[in-house]
Amino acid sequence: MDRLRANFGFAFTLCIAWTLIAFLILPLLVVIPISFTPERYLSLPEGEYSLRHYETLFTDRMWRKGIIDSAIVALGASSLAICLGTICAIGCWKLSSALGETIRILALTPMIVPPIVHALGMYRVWVDFGMIDSYVGLILAHTMKGIPFVVISVSAVLSNFDPRLEQAARSLGAGPLTAMRLTILPNIWPGVLAGGVFAFAISWDEIVVALFLTQRNVYTLPRQIWDGIQDNISPAVAAIGVVLILATIIAVLGKMLWDRRMAARIRGAA
Amino acid sequence: MSDASQIAAAPNLPRMDRTQVTVWAMALLPIAVLSVFYFYPLIRVLLISVTEPTPGFGNYIDIFTSSPVRKVLSTTLWICVVSSSISLMLGYLLAYAIVHATGRWQSWMLLAVLLSFWVSILIRAFAWIALLQTRGMVNETLQAIGLIDDPIRFIRNPFGVILGMVHYMIPYAVLPLMANMRTIDTRYVPAARGLGASPFGAFWRVFLPLSLPGLISAGILVFIFSIGFYITPALLGGGRTTMVAEYIALQVNETLAWGQGTALASSMLFVVFTLLIVLGRIVKFRNMFGAA
Is residue A35 domain-resident? no
Global pTM exceeds 0.95: no
* pLDDT averaged over 10-residue windows placed end to end, chain B, 292 residues: 46 62 87 96 96 88 89 94 97 94 88 93 94 88 88 90 96 93 88 88 90 92 94 88 93 90 95 91 61 38
Show the domain range for A173: 63-269
Query: Based on the domain organization, do B85 and B99 belong to the same domain?
Result: yes
What is the tally of structural domains in chain A? Answer: 1
Quote the pLDDT of residue B7. Answer: 45
Is residue A185 domain-resident? yes
Q: Shortest CA distance to B30 belongs to which of A156, A237, A83, A131?
A: A83
Say if residue A1's pLDDT is above 80. no
Interface test with B, best of A3, A20, A131 (most B CBs within 10 A): A20
B94 touches chain A (CB under 8 A): yes
Show the domain range for B197: 56-291
Closest CB to A95: pick one of B23, B170, B258. Answer: B23
Quote the pLDDT of residue B4. Answer: 46
Element (H, E) at A95: none
Is residue A129 domain-resident? yes
CA distance B260 to A257: 50
What pLDDT, in 10s, does the model give residues A74-110?
999 999 999 999 999 999 988 877 888 888 889 999 9
Chain B's closest residue to A148, CA to CA, is: B289
Max CA distance (Å), chain B = 103
Q: Chain B window 270-289: which residues touch A at a Cβ cutoff of 8 Å?
A: 272, 276, 285-286, 289
Chain A's closest residue to B23, CA to CA, is: A91
CA distance A85 to A198: 12
Query: Based on the domain organization, do B61 and B29 belong to the same domain?
Result: no
Query: Based on the domain organization, do B41 and B123 belong to the same domain?
Result: no
Q: By the 8 A CB rule, do A239 and A77 touch?
A: no
In this structure, how many other beta carbons lie within 10 angstroms of the beta carbon of residue B159? 15
In this structure, how many other beta carbons lie within 10 angstroms of the beta carbon of residue B63? 17
Q: Is A14–B101 a contact, with Cβ atoms under 8 angstroms apart?
A: yes
Q: Is B37–A144 a contact, with Cβ atoms under 8 angstroms apart?
A: yes
B218 touches chain A (CB under 8 A): no
CA distance B89 to B86: 5
Is residue A208 domain-resident? yes
Query: Based on the domain organization, do B78 and B158 belong to the same domain?
Result: yes
Spell out which residues of chain A touch residue B199, defining contact as CB-CB under 8 Å: 2, 5-6, 9
A78 touches chain B (CB under 8 A): no
Query: Based on the domain organization, do B7 and B64 belong to the same domain?
Result: no
- Annotate B9-45 with b (16+ C-beta within 10 A) or e (fewer): eeeeeeeeeebeebbeebbbebbebbeebbbebbebb
Question: Residue A5 — very low, low, confident or very high, per pLDDT cuts 50/70/90?
Answer: low
Query: Based on the domain organization, do B78 and B32 belong to the same domain?
Result: no
Query: Based on the domain organization, do B44 and B64 belong to the same domain?
Result: no
Quote the pLDDT of residue B284. Answer: 65
A259 touches chain B (CB under 8 A): no
Is residue A42 domain-resident? no
Spell out which residues of chain B touch residue A81, defining contact as CB-CB under 8 Å: none
Is residue A238 domain-resident? yes
B97 touches chain A (CB under 8 A): yes
Question: Residue A269 — very low, low, confident or very high, per pLDDT cuts 50/70/90?
Answer: low
Closest CB to A125: pick one of B40, B97, B276. Answer: B40
Is residue A225 domain-resident? yes
Spell out which residues of chain B touch residue A235, defining contact as CB-CB under 8 Å: none
Query: Based on the domain organization, do B242 and B135 belong to the same domain?
Result: yes
Quote the pLDDT of residue B292. Answer: 37
Shortest alpha-carbon distance between residue B108 and chain A (Å): 10
Spell out which residues of chain B touch residue A247, defining contact as CB-CB under 8 Å: none
Q: Mean pLDDT, to the nearest integer, of A202-212?
A: 96
CA distance A214 to B153: 34
What is the tally of structural domains in chain B? Answer: 2
Is residue A8 domain-resident? no
What torsion, rounded to 10 degrees, do the Cα atoms B31, B35, B36, B41 define? 150
Chain A's closest residue to B112, CA to CA, is: A21
B177 touches chain A (CB under 8 A): no
> Which ipTM was obtained for this model?
0.90
Query: Based on the domain organization, do B67 and B36 belong to the same domain?
Result: no
Query: Based on the domain organization, do B141 and B239 belong to the same domain?
Result: yes
- Output the DSSP codes for B217-255: HHHHHHHHHHHT--HHHHHHSTTTS--HHHHHHHHHHTS
Size of interface A-B (CB pairs under 8 A): 250
Q: By the 8 A CB rule, do B97 and B106 touch?
A: no
What pLDDT, in 10s, does the model give residues A135-172?
999 999 999 999 999 999 999 899 888 888 888 888 89
Q: By the 8 A CB rule, do B290 and A89 touch?
A: no
Q: Is A114–B171 a contact, with Cβ atoms under 8 angstroms apart?
A: no
- Domain closes at, from B9, B26, B51: B51
Q: By the 8 A CB rule, do B120 and B113 touch?
A: no
The CATH code of the domain that includes A240 is 1.10.3720.10
The CATH code of the domain that includes B72 is 1.10.3720.10
Query: Based on the domain organization, do B8 and B130 belong to the same domain?
Result: no
Which amino acid does the sequence have at B287? N
Angle (nearest 5°) at CA A119 between B264 and B175 = 90
Q: Is A16–B101 a contact, with Cβ atoms under 8 angstroms apart?
A: no
Max CA distance (Å), chain A = 74
Tell me how far CA of residue A14 lies from CA of A19, B94, B193, in angstroms.
Answer: 9, 8, 20
